[in-house]
Structure 1
Amino acid sequence: MTLLTVTGLHKSFGGVVAARDVSFTVARGEMLAIIGPNGAGKSTVFNMVGGQLGPDRGQVLIDGQDITHASPQARFRGGVGRTFQVAQTFLSMSAAENVQMALISRFRQSRGLWTPARERHRAGAVDLLAQVGMAEAADMPCSALAYGDVKRVELAIALAGQPKLLLMDEPTAGMAPQERAALMDLTASIAASQGIGVLFTEHDMDVVFGHAARVIVLLRGQIIAAGTPDEIRQDPQVRRAYLGDSHALEPSQGTGPA
């Protein structure tokens, strides 16, 4: 079933067209990757879906509801979660406290607190940390965690909003290869079990081809190809524009859905 429908997104900055008539869908439980060379328009499209940028024209629908001009905060409360290229956590706070703050925001309890924030949603926060394999680190400050573990905490923060759609901007940036695969395996498992659609950008082609069900390729703001990882590997235009020949020799053998 279609969850996200993006139709005709267009965005210009002065005389530069960053996105031109971009249209695609994401189904429940599906992982869709957006790839392309630097300057292709990936961040522009991603931020229009997330609400950080407004399109000049076009439409973004979640479950048929128009969110084209909704704020990022309204999208969060409407079921759009996000992680960032550089993990966004409060380093001086514990892993549990970071997730508790997301839960407080979700339930709109940030004003008029009559009890200390650390006493609210503690059990729910630990449950979310358990989903990402971080329950034992609940009381550790994020500043003391390895970066790969911080990315897992950030995923738990995103899940605190009970997202229908999860946006992941360069989710494995700064991580070791083994950590990358583990994080994306975890994300794929959660997405499949909870029916969450995942839209992600990524430069690591092993991550893309190993975990995306479908891939769209942008070049100069336009989609030049869309299909399964193996179809994208073999697309002559994509190979010329972006991949070269190193990723077009064999079908993908990743551990996630392909």
Structure 2
Amino acid sequence: MTLLAVNGLQKSFGGVVAARDVEFTVGRGEMLAVIGPNGAGKSTVFNMVGGQLRPDRGRVLLDGHDITHASPQKRFRRGVGRTFQVAQTFLSMSAAENVQMALISCRRQSGGLWSPARERHREKAVQLLARVGMAEAADIPCSALAYGDVKRVELAIALAGEPKLLLMDEPTAGMAPRERTELMDLTASIADAQGIGVLFTEHDMDVVFGHAARVLVLLRGRIIAAGTPDEIRRNEEVKRAYLGDEHALEAPKGTRPA
């Protein structure tokens, strides 16, 4: 069943067309990767779906509802969660406090707090941290955590809004190879169990081909290929888009079944 439908998105900056007639869907529980060389338009498309950019033309539908012109905050409350290339957490706060702040925000309780925020939603925050394997670090400041663990906390923050759709911008950037696999395995299991659609951008082809059910390839703002990892790996136009680096499109060891 279609969760996200992107129809004919287009965006220009001056005379440069950054996205041209981009169309795709994401189903419930599906992980869809968007890849392409630098300057292909990945960030532009991603930010139009997330609400950071407004398209010049086209529509974004979530569960059949038009969210094209909704702010990122309204999209969050409609069920769009997001993680960032550089983890967005309050480093001076504990892991639990970071998740508690997200829970307070999504419940619109940030105004008029008469009781200390640390007393609100503590149990739920710890439950979310347990879901991402970070319950034992609940009271540790994020500044004292390894970067891979901070990325897990950020995932718990995104899950605080009970998202239908999860947007992940370069989710494994800055992580060691083992941490990358573990984070994406975790994301895939949560998405499958909860029926969350996942749209992610990524440069690491092991991550893409090991976890995406489908892959979109952008070049100069338009989609040049879409299909399963195997179909994309064999696509000659995709190989040319990556400057003939066929090694980047080889199947990684331990690839998850699509």
What is the TM-score when the length of structure 1 is the normalising length?
0.98
Matches within 5 A, 1:1-258: 1-242=1-242, 244-248=245-249, 251=251, 253-258=253-258
Q: After superposing the two structures, state which structure 1 stretch, 110-119 or 147-156, moved more.
A: 110-119
1:113 is displaced (CA, Å) by 1.0
**Aligned partner of residue 151 in structure 1, secondary structure:** helix
The alpha-carbon distance between structure 1 residues 257 and 46, as it changes in their structure 2 partners (threshold 3 A), is: farther
Give the conservation status (yes or no) of the 8 Å contact 2:6–2:23: yes
Q: Output the CA distance in 2 between the equivalents of 1:16 and 1:255.
A: 37
What is the TM-score when the length of structure 2 is the normalising length?
0.98
Give the conservation status (yes or no) of the 8 Å contact 2:209–2:255: no
The alpha-carbon distance between structure 1 residues 233 and 129, as it changes in their structure 2 partners (threshold 3 A), is: same
Q: How many residues align?
A: 257
Letter in 2 for 1:246: H
* Structure 1: gaps (5+ residues): none
**Aligned partner of residue 130 in structure 1, secondary structure:** helix
**Aligned partner of residue 232 in structure 2, secondary structure:** helix
Residues 60-80 of structure 1 deviation map (CA, whole Å, 9 limit, x = unaligned): 000000000000000000000
* Structure 2: gaps (5+ residues): none
Q: Output the CA distance in 1 between the equivalents of 2:139 and 2:252.
A: 39
1:255 is displaced (CA, Å) by 4.5
Runs of 4 or more consecutive aligned structure 1 residues displaced over 3 Å after TM superposition: 251-257
**Aligned partner of residue 246 in structure 1, secondary structure:** helix
Q: Output the CA distance in 2 between the equivalents of 1:20 and 1:158.
A: 29
The alpha-carbon distance between structure 1 residues 254 and 229, as it changes in their structure 2 partners (threshold 3 A), is: farther
**Aligned partner of residue 230 in structure 1, secondary structure:** helix
